[in-house]
Amino acid sequence: MHSFRTEIENPIVEKDILDLAKKIAQFKAGEIHEEKFRSLRLARGVYGQRQQGVQMIRIKLPYGKIQFHQWKRIADISDEYSTGNLHLTTRQDIQIHFVSLDRTPELWAKLEQDDITLREACGNTVRNITASPTSGIDPKELFDVSPHADTAFRYFLRNPICQEMGRKVKISFSNTDEDTSLAYLHDMGFIPKIVDGLKGFKVVVGGGLGAQPMLAYTSHEFLAEDQVIPFIESVLRVFDRHGERNSRHKARMKFLIQKIGFEEFMNLVQAETKALKNHSYPISDAAAWEVSEPTQLSDVAIPSSEVYKTWLATNTFEQKQKGFHGVYVRILNGNISSDTSRSLINALQGYIGDDVRITINQGLLLKFVPAANLPYVFQTLAAHELAAPGANSIANITACPGTDTCNLAISDSTNITSKLEQVINDEFPALIHDSQMKIKISGCMNACGQHSMASIGFHGSSLKAPDKRVLPALQVLLGGATLGNGEGRIADKVIKVPSKRGPEVLRIVLNNYEENAQDGEYFHEYYDRLGENHFYTLIKPLADLSNLVQDDFIDWGASENFITEIGVGECAGVMIDLVATLLFESQEKYEWTIAALEDKRWADAIYHAYSVFISAAKALLLDKSVTVSNQTAVINKFDENFVSTGEFAINAETFSALVLQINQQEPTEAFANQYVAQAEKFLTAATSYRQNKA
pLDDT tens for 521-577 read 999 999 999 999 999 999 999 999 999 999 999 999 998 888 876 555 555 443 333
Mean pLDDT of 187-203: 98
pLDDT above 50: residue 495: yes
What mean pLDDT, rounded, does the chain reach?
Answer: 92
Indicate the residue type of 209. L
Q: What is the DSSP letter of 289?
A: G
Residues 6+ apart with CB under 8 A from 29: none
Q: Which long-range contacts (CB under 8 A, 24 or more apart) does 18-22 make?
A: 18/105, 20/44, 20/46, 20/104, 20/105, 20/108, 21/105
Sign of CA dihedral 362, 365, 366, 372: positive
Dihedral, CA atoms, 170, 175, 177, 182, nearest 10 degrees?
A: -20
- Domain locations in the chain as residue ranges: 11-62+88-112, 130-287, 291-383, 398-553, 579-693
Mean pLDDT of 32-40: 79
Alpha carbons 659 and 662: distance in angstroms, whole number: 6
Mean pLDDT of 273-284: 94
Indicate the residue type of 431. L
Whether domain 291-383 has CATH 3.90.480.20: yes
pLDDT of residue 2: 47
Strand-pair partners of 208: 214
Alpha carbons 490 and 513: distance in angstroms, whole number: 19
Strands 85-88 and 171-173, sheet pairing: unpaired
Secondary structure of the chain: what % helix, strand, coil (to 5)?
Answer: 45, 15, 40
pLDDT above 90: residue 71: yes
pLDDT of residue 285: 73
Name the pLDDT band for 210 (thresholds 50, 70, 90): confident
pLDDT of residue 409: 81
Name the pLDDT band for 3 (thresholds 50, 70, 90): low
Return the CATH fold of 398-553.
Sulfite Reductase Hemoprotein; domain 1 (3.30.413)
Mean pLDDT of 147-163: 96
- 69-78, 386-395, 584-593, range with the lowest pLDDT: 584-593
Residues 6+ apart with CB under 8 A from 538: 508, 509, 512
Q: What is the DSSP letter of 542?
A: G
CATH code for the domain defined by 130-287 = 3.30.413.10
pLDDT of residue 52: 81
What class, spelled out in words, does domain 579-693 have in CATH? mainly alpha
Mean pLDDT of 50-74: 93
pLDDT tens for 367-419 read 999 999 999 999 999 999 999 999 999 999 999 888 887 877 898 899 999 99
Asked whether the domain spanning 398-553 has the same topology as the one spanning 291-383, the reply is: no
pLDDT of residue 574: 39
Percentage of residues of the chain with pLDDT beyond 90: 81
Asked whether the beta carbons of 40 and 47 are under 8 A apart, the reply is no
Percentage of residues of the chain with pLDDT beyond 70: 96
pLDDT tens for 10-34 read 888 888 898 899 889 988 888 887 7
Alpha carbons 401 and 385: distance in angstroms, whole number: 21
pLDDT of residue 446: 87
> Across 340-453, where does the E strand assignment appear?
356-358, 364-370, 398-399, 439-442
